[in-house]
Amino acid sequence: MAKFRRKRLYIDPKIQGTLLVRTTVYWLLCLFTASSVLAVWMTITGPARPLRHPFHDFWNEFGPAFIFATLMLPVALFDLLRLSNKIAGPMYRLRNELHKLAMGEPARPIELRSGDFGTDLAQEFNAVLRRVNELEAKLNATSGDAKADRAADTATSQAEPQSPEPRVVTTADADSALELLNQF
């Protein structure tokens, strides 16, 4: 497990932004529901008074609690941001390394920090990365042998004429053929 801290707390707006907005909406709904229930309760159980009095009494009795709840919202959102960073950070790194792998660029194994979620996913990615690297090494070794065989065949075919053998097509040959086709 890596021991260094992330430089950015807000990494993925899609995941983290959604969590922050939803938490704020839930907090507002909870506050509205609790205040409505308390106002109705005070109206039903209290003495008969004009309609504006329950709201005045409500603020006098519960105003400090709502102020405190309002002050706690940024603390809760910051804590949620830190927690979501332990999910979004590994997903961000995994997405970047998968993109590199898909584009044929060298990808690095993923080492997560202690406390991050997704360690099993990172281990699976690292196993796949090792396998891809092994297969690429085998392919390169095979294509290197094929090139050497072609060079040897070319040297012997110039010395004595023989019947033509089937040519081994490499990925480089296929790429250059695709480029030629794309030009037309």
Number of domains in the chain: 1
Percentage of the residues of the chain whose pLDDT score is greater than 90:
40
Q: Residue 111, Cβ neighbours under 10 Å: how many?
A: 14
What's the full length of the chain, in residues?
Answer: 184
**Nearest to 94, CA basis, from 121, 128, 120, 117:** 121
pLDDT at residue 125 above 50? yes
With respect to residue 169, please indicate whether it lies within any of the assigned structural domains: no
Whether 152 maps to a domain, the answer reads: no
Cα R_g (the chain), whole angstroms: 33
pLDDT (tens digit, 9 = 90+) per residue, 9-42? 888 889 999 999 999 999 999 999 998 888 888 8
Instruction: Give the tens place of pLDDT for each residue, 61-103.
Output: 888 998 999 999 999 999 999 999 999 999 999 999 999 999 9
Cα separation, 46 vs 89, in Å, equals: 52
**116 vs 3: CA distance, rounded Å:** 11
Residues 142, 110: Cα–Cα separation, whole Å: 29
- Per-residue model confidence (pLDDT) at position 62: 86
| 119, pLDDT greater than 50 | yes
Residue-range definition of the domain harbouring residue 121: 13-137
User: Which amino acid appears at position 9 of this protein?
Assistant: L
Q: Is 94 exposed, middle or buried (CB count within 10 Å of its CB: 0-12, 13-18, 19+)?
A: middle
User: How far is Cα 172 from Cα 139, in angstroms, rounded to an integer?
Assistant: 12
pTM for this one?
A: 0.61
